[in-house]
């Protein structure tokens, strides 16, 4: 068992050498073996050996050097030279088949099976015709068959080893491809995880922005509600003591208006707080829309001429709320700043827009958009958020103030 590593190492060393060097060394070895009888033996009659015998041995041995490049030609040259060995004159009695056996082995290894078999049969037939005895013929036949069989076994072994090597290469290639596929999948999973994380961050940012927008909207709504309610309550409270003795019925109506305004403000604030407490859920009551304008007008304490012209269309939900809020803000401004007792509200339905005109005949501040107060700015922002426009300023005839809002209708 200890010699196996040495043998395997020597075999690997020989395989690492160039094939021409190995075959050249083998040709020299065969030549030395065939020349040895010429140098170590003498003729029985004391005559020198035939010089042609030397030539035959050299010609038969040299083709071994190119046996892998032209196996059939090398073998035929060796056999042809060997066939002249016994007729060249006095030569040592020796087997001169070493090069031919090596040639048969090489043909069996490197040639196609059927071609090698044909060559071997022809070579064996020629060898049998040239031998001088049956014993020599049997030895030659056994040697040729053995050389061919060993060659075929070596060819089969090499083919099997090549198949195993090819299979190993395929397995290695498959492993590399599988590793690359696993890397691609892992990279794809990482990219997908990064994408999901980025989308999650974007959703969080968008949710925060939506929350900010919602908080801003709620703040505007609360401002509108409180400003409207408090303004009405202050106006009615100031008028109450004046008429409490002279006109008790009017004083009672003023106190009723104060209570109604407070209850309405509390109800709307309760709705908004409900929205804030129940995040993600629908509010417990709908936001007021343009359909609630008559109730809004009735609670102002003003004498309001309310007129609607044109064919009513469909407003988007946010636009319907905006229509209510801008009207509410305009009425609040009239109560707080104009000192007027009456106002006019005109709704004009056109093909693709709704026009809202709120006018009074009071003595307001006379300031126009955009330099007005927070109420007028809120009207402009609400209209712009819905894709509409808003203008506000003194009337052309100088008799009060006018707010005009244009809101787009919902597309069919």
- pLDDT score at 46: 64
Do 140 and 97 touch, CB atoms closer than 8 A? yes
Phi, psi for residue 407 in degrees, rounded to 5:
-120, 140
Three-state DSSP class for 318?
Answer: helix
> 106: how many CB neighbours lie within 10 A of its CB?
24
- pLDDT score at 356: 94
- pLDDT score at 368: 47
CA within 13 Å, CB half, 30: 26
CA 302 to each of CA 256, 293, 343, 384: distance values in angstroms, whole numbers, following the listed order: 14, 14, 7, 28
Residue 261 to residue 375: CA distance in whole angstroms: 19
Is the pTM above the cut of 0.85? no
SS3 content of the chain, % helix, strand, coil (to 5): 70, 10, 25
Beta-sheet pairing, 389-394 with 342-349: unpaired
Q: What is the mean pLDDT of each run of 10 residues along the chain (412 residues)?
A: 61 73 83 82 71 84 84 81 76 77 81 68 63 61 74 78 86 89 90 90 80 69 70 68 68 71 69 56 65 85 87 85 89 82 90 91 56 70 87 84 89 54
Domain spans in the chain, listed from the N-terminal domain onward: 4-130, 289-412
Residue 31 to residue 56: CA distance in whole angstroms: 10
Q: Which residues pair with 358 in a beta bridge?
A: 345, 403
Do 268 and 227 touch, CB atoms closer than 8 A? no
- pLDDT score at 136: 61
* Right CATH for 289-412 from 3.10.20.30, 3.90.650.10, 3.30.565.10, 3.30.360.10: 3.30.565.10
């Amino acid at each position: 068992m200890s010699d196996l590593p040495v043998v395997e190492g020597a075999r690997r060393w020989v395989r690492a050498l160039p094939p021409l060097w190995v075959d050249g060394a083998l040709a020299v070895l065969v030549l030395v073996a065939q020349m040895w009888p010429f140098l170590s033996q003498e003729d029985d009659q004391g005559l020198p050996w035939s010089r042609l015998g030397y030539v035959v041995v050299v010609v038969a041995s040299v083709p071994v050097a190119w046996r892998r490049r032209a196996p059939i030609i090398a073998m035929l040259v060796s056999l042809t030279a060997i066939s002249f060995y016994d007729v060249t004159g006095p030569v040592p009695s020796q087997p001169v088949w070493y090069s031919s056996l090596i040639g048969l082995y090489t043909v069996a290894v490197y040639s196609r099976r059927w071609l090698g078999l044909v060559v071997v049969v022809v070579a064996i037939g020629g060898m049998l015709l040239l031998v001088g005895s049956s014993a020599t013929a049997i030895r030659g036949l056994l040697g040729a068959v053995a050389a061919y069989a060993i060659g075929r076994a070596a060819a089969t072994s090499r083919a099997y080893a090549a198949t195993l090597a090819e299979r190993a290469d395929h397995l290695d290639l498959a492993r590399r491809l599988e590793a690359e596929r696993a890397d691609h999948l892992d990279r794809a999973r990482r990219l997908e995880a990064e994408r999901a994380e980025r989308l999650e961050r974007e959703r969080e940012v968008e949710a925060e922005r939506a929350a900010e927008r919602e908080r801003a909207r709620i703040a505007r709504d609360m401002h509108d509600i409180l400003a409207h309610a408090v303004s009405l309550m202050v106006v009615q409270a100031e008028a109450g003591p004046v008429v409490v003795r002279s006109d008790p019925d009017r004083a009672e109506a003023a106190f009723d208006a104060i209570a109604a305004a407070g209850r309405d403000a509390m109800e709307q604030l309760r709705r908004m707080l409900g929205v804030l407490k129940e995040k993600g859920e629908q509010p417990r009551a709908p936001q007021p829309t343009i359909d609630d304008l008559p109730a809004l007008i009735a609670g102002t304490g003003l004498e309001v001429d309310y007129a609607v012209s044109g064919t009513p269309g469909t407003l988007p939900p946010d636009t319907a709320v905006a229509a209510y809020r801008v009207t509410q803000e305009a009425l609040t401004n009239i109560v707080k700043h104009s000192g007027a007792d009456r106002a006019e509200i005109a709704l004009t339905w056109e093909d693709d827009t709704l026009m809202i005109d709120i006018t009074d005949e009071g003595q307001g501040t006379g300031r126009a958009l955009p330099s007005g107060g927070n109420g007028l700015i809120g009207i402009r922002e609400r209209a712009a958020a819905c894709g509409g426009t808003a203008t506000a300023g003194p009337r052309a005839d100088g008799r009060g103030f006018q707010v005009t809002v244009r809101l787009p209708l919902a597309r069919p």
